[in-house]
Amino acid sequence: MVLYRKYRPQKLSELDNEEISQRLIRVFSSAFIPHALLFAGPKGTGKTSAARIVAKVLNCERKVLKEKDVILGTSEARTPESQSDSGRAPIKSELARMTKSVEPCNVCETCVAITEGRHLDIIEIDAASNRGIDEIRDLREKIKLAPVSARFKVYIIDEVHMLTNEAFNALLKTLEEPPPHAVFILATTEPEKLPQTIVSRCIRFNFQRAKISEILNCLKRVIRGEKLKITDDILEMIAASADGSFRDATKILEQAILENALTLATLSFLLGRENASAEKFLRILVKGDVTEALKEVKKLAESGASIRFLVEDILTLLHSILLAQYGIESEKVVSDLPKLIDKKETPLLIRLFSRVFVEIKNTNIPYLPLEVAVVEWCEKKGGAYV
């Protein structure tokens, strides 16, 4: 049971990232077909899924039959029912019309072959292991050949930022003058490493870290498909622990199901959150007792609790405290915490723990940045951060 693969979106409308879904629908509902797209964003946000769906949009056998009407704006594209009094279709109905016109059928032989990863004209390249100029030269030679059975040859190059400079230079010429039957989809988690000459040849789509609401929708689709009953508080904990990644959220859900960790206590233990109480830690920190605070960090580290999750929870709680101190209510704030922490110290603590969160990712001793921050805060009471 690999839930992420089993429930991978198969249509543009099924993409959990609503903004990307709508943008792709608008782009491919026009008569213009871009020859190169750049999907940039963090891991697990749906870049590869979107690329495979685009490959189906371009090559779906049933969609070809409707394409003439879509391009000319005839047939269902301009029915009286779809227009308002001003002669312009409302935004929602217009988007629904465009969605219907571009979605792949997922039942024709081409769509099925692409879904199963066996279509000869859809070539996926992992740039991390095929990053040299020889591989790109081989691509340039083969791209000249006509598609075997599809309308377009689609090249999906994952982690494209891993290519060498020489490989980028070889790819650039192909991007500038691609054959009419070829479409490139470049995917990357580090777009800043791409040469601007490459970026400028592509239509760019920025995949943002998934919102909690989007991850919850993704998880609910999975549990509906598996006919499971899982409470909302469990799903919310999984979503909060996924670091903005649909894939990570689904993998956590899968592990929770396999290990029957479907209560808050068992899931907290599975995630390493069992003893990581942000509220308790903040109360110790507010007292300024450096020894007690360091003992708490040591206890958490020895218990196997995730320091990253603790710092993340502290930042979430501090954000709620900040809002509460300025009259904005939040359910996550314990009633007396906004009063215990000085109003001037709250933003300083937020800056401090934001720094700790970044440093944790770059050290081989995860709890060390937290210990240093505890000592600095308790001994100087925030004076160093003003």
| Same domain? 21 vs 119 | yes
> Are residues 19 and 162 located together in one domain of the fold?
yes
Q: Are residues 200 and 216 in the same domain?
A: no
The residue among 220, 246, 271 that closes a domain is 271
Beta bridge partners of 156: 124, 185
Same domain for 249 and 138? no
Tell whether pTM > 0.85.
Answer: no
* In contact, 184 and 157? CB cutoff 8 Å: yes
HSE-CB for 35 with a 13 A CA cutoff: 14
Say which residues have a Cβ less than 8 Å from residue 176's Cβ, sequence separation at least 6: 201
Are residues 221 and 109 both part of a single domain? no
Residues 58 and 143 in one domain: yes
| Residues 105, 96: Cα–Cα separation, whole Å | 16
Order across the sheet with 153-158: list the strands. 122-126, 153-158, 182-188, 36-40, 203-206
Q: What is the CATH number of the domain that holds 260?
A: 1.10.8
Can you give the CATH number for the domain in which 360 is found? 1.20.272.10
Domain holding 184, by residue range, is 3-206
Q: Same structural domain for residues 60 and 125?
A: yes
User: Last residue of some domain: 206, 232, 258?
Assistant: 206
pLDDT by residue for the chain (386 residues), tens digit each? 588 889 999 999 999 898 999 999 999 988 888 999 999 999 999 999 999 999 999 999 886 555 544 444 444 433 333 344 444 445 567 767 777 778 999 999 999 999 999 999 999 999 888 888 888 888 888 888 999 989 999 999 999 999 999 899 889 988 988 899 999 999 999 999 999 999 999 999 999 999 999 999 999 999 999 999 999 999 998 998 888 899 999 999 999 999 998 888 888 888 876 555 788 888 888 888 889 989 988 887 887 777 888 888 889 889 888 988 888 865 555 567 778 888 888 999 999 999 999 998 888 888 899 999 999 888 876 444 43
Structural domain tally of the chain? Answer: 3
